Amino acid sequence: MDDSTLLAMYDEQLRTDAEMRSMADVERHGPLRWGTFHSGRGFVSYRSLGAPTDDELEQLIIETVEHYSADPRTHEFEWKTRGHDGVPALDGLLRKHRFVAEEVESVMVGEAASIATDVPVPEGVSLRSVTSREDVAAMIRMQASVFGDRETVEERLDSTLQRLQDPDTPGVQLWVAEVDGRPVSAGRIDPVPDTDFAGIWGGATLREWRGKGIYRALTAKRAQAALRCGKTLINSDSTEFSRPILQRAGFRRVTTTTPYVWQR
């Protein structure tokens, strides 16, 4: 499949409803979906904004801020944008209303079968999936040290364990690479029901363990898990640390995504 076909499948299968599966609450507002995680964090997405005037677009932003401001659970929310949406005024209007743009990420898509090979890892490194509260907490602490997450470990731990046990999110697995029982790299595979896709998320590797093939090996394990769930495509929002690794594995960069975050 060429890049345009992969992008069309991404837009059709993975935006709006698919993104809102794990939310505690979802509300439709015009072209937008307003979602709220169990932690209270908000998330805004859409399939297309169409061709709004600047005034219409700003009104959507104002109404969105009012919606989350009225919810005492919500201290921050993310407005997820994509680089190919063709709404040039959006960046400036979001910034005008106190949104802060985070790092631009590459939306990568690849065929699961092409990356589901066994990849060697350095001596002393072991790979496994984890499910216990203790193991998941250790994984989240490692990821938080890499990403500098604003959420506390306990907040992420409860929502992650809930996702593992949720019958509406079948096939979710957490994979870690460990050295002497300590996680040095980790990531999640999240098969999306009623689509061809499984997403790989939360990929993090401690700085001293990068460049050794560990993240690539975890990606291969997650691709194998995706195939067992009947998924043929893998998608990932990738930082500049993981993008080159995925490109070498055969992924293609079909667009970009930029999170804009509003905080109370």
Model pLDDT for residues 179-190, shown as the tens digit of each residue? 999 999 999 999
**Residue 38, burial from CB neighbour count under 10 angstroms (0-12, 13-18, 19+):** middle
Query: Domains of the chain by range and CATH?
Result: 3-108 (3.40.630), 110-255 (3.40.630.30)
Contact predicate 156/194, CB 8 Å: no
Q: What pLDDT, on a 0 to 100 scale, did the predictor assign at position 21?
A: 85
pLDDT at 150 over 70: no
Average pLDDT over residues 77-96: 96
Q: What is the mean pLDDT of residues 9-30?
A: 92
Question: Mean pLDDT, to the nearest integer, of 1-17?
Answer: 93
Contacts of 85 (CB under 8 A, 6+ apart): 48, 49
- Predicted model pTM: 0.88
